[in-house]
């Protein structure tokens, strides 16, 4: 894979995952691990450098998270960020105190002056904006340390012991609000740690294929292929590694977008694997009959999917391995670090202890979403599949508000297809991170063909976001919305009104149910 490895010790900060993403963007492999990692585990990891994350605590609080002080004797460069900076100072003999006045606390955009003679800040502008979020400050530096940056309220906005390659910054270089943040991280990785940036998807593909062949040998592998980016890339990688030893079961639950099932099947038509498509739309629709509550619909679809998958796999005979498209954010959000569980992912914590297979294979477990997409391109998957926007597992069932019927699904598929066609024709396919049509459960009076109609309203939704934790509604051009509305009302029977959702997240969510 790579000999360049950065260890990120997680102290529970809100930006911890973002630090890892930024390091990967700079083509250096890293992993986010709990700060409780023992010194022997750290040695076994073999880091080229270590980053301490931020965190919500004060270092002098009872029970505040800490690290084994032996980490400072490894001879490895260390960068502390916010809480991590203060913890470094405390563990090495310095003092950290709460700010004596409100004016000494710093939150948000802060003008900061840098000592550009510092190895961490060489080549930077002497003054620029950083993003601060702290109520404590380092009142006494450890022996051998000196200030390397300052702000109006904080004379130790950055500290350094260049002789030992220990650095700390009170601000957050990983957020976009810090103007030179990526330059600072690059200086630490390339300048201080001496790394070359050899983490690429081409290299990962080569090493992953080799590792999969060694693990699987001549055994068989089963993968549930949803058609989403993660499972599709997982299938393509396994196909390259073990070919016909892989069987993919694609359960088409009849809740996909227009022609989507056919496109998924076509994408794998030329690959060396066993592809089984199960057209179970009628079965899922029957199971959903009368269900209105979103959570009930989700549970019905999830349970039915498992039943169909089990029935199909049982007919294949003995298969040794089950494969999943688990990716790194799934692991982190399910409690893989020190941060609280954001949401438990079924593919991380939802599997029974005895899964009925010899082992579980997750070749994408160390990758972020953008890396998965890059790998998909390396593997030759079509761009429309690789760049596919997030699509919920329950599919259109949760974009049809209220009861799901075949007629409602037909209406929604056509309306959604028109919206996507017009976005593409206008060259705005990348203007929003996610966009779709939803069929409301509202019917209203309209006038069509000089006659009265009483039909459904379709809602259009487009959002822009970096991480989907928050999202802003996308300001699409009025003339585009006019064309979409006109085409939907004219070409989709059952619709006489089109709405555009201008609600951000929060207070709304991206999806409707």
Answer positive or negative: Cα dihedral of 262, 264, 269, 273: negative
**Is the omega angle on the peptide bond into residue 504 within 30 degrees of 0, that is, cis?**
no
- Please spell the DSSP secondary structure of 250-295, one letter per residue: EEE-S-SPTTHHHHHHHHTTTSSSEEEEEE-HHHHHHHHTT--SHH
| Residue 15, C-beta contacts closer than 8 angstroms, at least 6 positions apart | 53, 54, 172, 174, 175
Decide if 87 contacts 60 (C-beta within 8 A): no
Q: What is the dihedral of CA 400, 403, 405, 411, to 10 degrees?
A: -30
d(CA 424, CA 153): 49
Query: How many angstroms separate the CA atoms of 9 and 13, rounded?
Result: 10
Q: Which residues are catalytic?
A: 82, 172, 174
**R_g of the chain, CA atoms, integer Å:** 26
Distance CA 302, CA 394 (A): 8
Of the candidates 85, 77, 68, the residue with the CA atom closest to the CA atom of residue 138: 85
Task: HSE, CB side, 13 Å, CA atoms: give it for residue 100.
Answer: 4
- 376: tokens are 């998909």
Structure tokens at 282: 């009628």
Nearest-angstrom CA–CA distance, 33 and 30? 10
Q: Taking the mean position of all CA atoms in its chain, how far away is CA 262?
A: 27
Round to whole Å and give the CA distance between 291 and 144: 67
Report the alpha-carbon distance of residue 355 to residue 508 in Å, rounded.
37
């Amino acid at each position: 894979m790579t000999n360049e490895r950065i260890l990120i010790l997680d102290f529970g900060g809100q930006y911890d995952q973002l630090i890892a993403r930024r390091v990967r963007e700079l083509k250096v492999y890293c992993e986010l691990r709990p700060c409780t990692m023992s010194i022997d585990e750290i040695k076994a990891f073999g880091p080229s450098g270590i980053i301490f994350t931020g965190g919500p605590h004060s270092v002098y609080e009872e029970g505040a998270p800490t690290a084994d002080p032996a980490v400072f004797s490894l001879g490895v460069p260390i960068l502390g960020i916010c809480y991590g900076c203060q913890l470094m100072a405390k563990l090495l003999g310095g003092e950290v105190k709460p700010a004596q006045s409100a004016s000494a606390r710093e939150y948000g955009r802060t003008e900061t002056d840098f000592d550009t003679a510092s190895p961490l800040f060489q080549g930077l502008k002497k003054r620029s904006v950083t993003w601060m979020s702290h109520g404590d400050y380092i009142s006494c530096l450890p022996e051998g340390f000196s200030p390397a940056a300052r702000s109006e309220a904080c004379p130790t906005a950055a500290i350094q012991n260049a002789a030992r390659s220990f650095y700390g910054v009170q601000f957050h270089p990983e957020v976009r609000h810090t103007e030179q943040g990526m330059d600072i991280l690059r200086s630490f990785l390339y300048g201080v740690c001496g790394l070359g940036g050899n983490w690429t998807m081409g290299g990962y593909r080569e090493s992953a294929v080799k590792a999969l062949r060694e693990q699987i040998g001549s055994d068989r592998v089963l993968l549930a292929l949803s058609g989403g980016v993660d499972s599709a890339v997982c299938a393509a990688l396994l196909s390259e590694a073990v070919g016909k030893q892989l069987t993919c079961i694609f359960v088409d639950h009849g809740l996909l977008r227009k022609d989507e099932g056919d496109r998924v099947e076509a994408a794998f038509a030329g690959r060396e694997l066993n592809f089984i498509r199960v057209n179970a739309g009628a079965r899922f629709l029957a199971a959903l009959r009368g269900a209105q509550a979103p959570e009930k619909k989700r549970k019905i679809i999830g349970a039915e999917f498992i039943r169909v998958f089990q029935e199909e796999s049982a007919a294949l005979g003995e298969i040794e391995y089950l494969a999943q498209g688990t990716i790194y954010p799934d692991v982190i959000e399910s409690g893989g670090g020190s941060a609280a569980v954001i949401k438990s992912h079924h593919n991380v914590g939802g599997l029974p202890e005895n899964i009925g297979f010899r082992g579980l294979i997750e070749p994408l477990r160390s990758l972020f979403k953008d890396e998965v997409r890059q790998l998909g391109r390396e593997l030759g998957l079509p761009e429309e599949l690789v760049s596919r926007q997030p699509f919920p597992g329950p599919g259109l069932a949760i974009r049809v508000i209220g009861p799901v019927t075949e007629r409602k699904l037909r209406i929604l598929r056509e309306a959604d297809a028109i919206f996507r066609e017009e976005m593409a024709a206008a060259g705005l396919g990348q203007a929003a991170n996610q966009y779709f049509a939803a069929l409301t459960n509202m019917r209203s009076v309209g006038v069509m063909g000089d006659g009265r109609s009483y039909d459904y309203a379709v809602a259009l939704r487009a959002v822009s976001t970096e991480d989907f934790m928050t999202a802003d509604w996308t300001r699409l051009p009025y003339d585009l919305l006019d064309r979409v509305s006109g085409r939907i009302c004219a070409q989709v029977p059952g619709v006489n009104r089109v709405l555009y959702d201008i609600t951000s997240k929060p207070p709304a969510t991206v999806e409707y149910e």
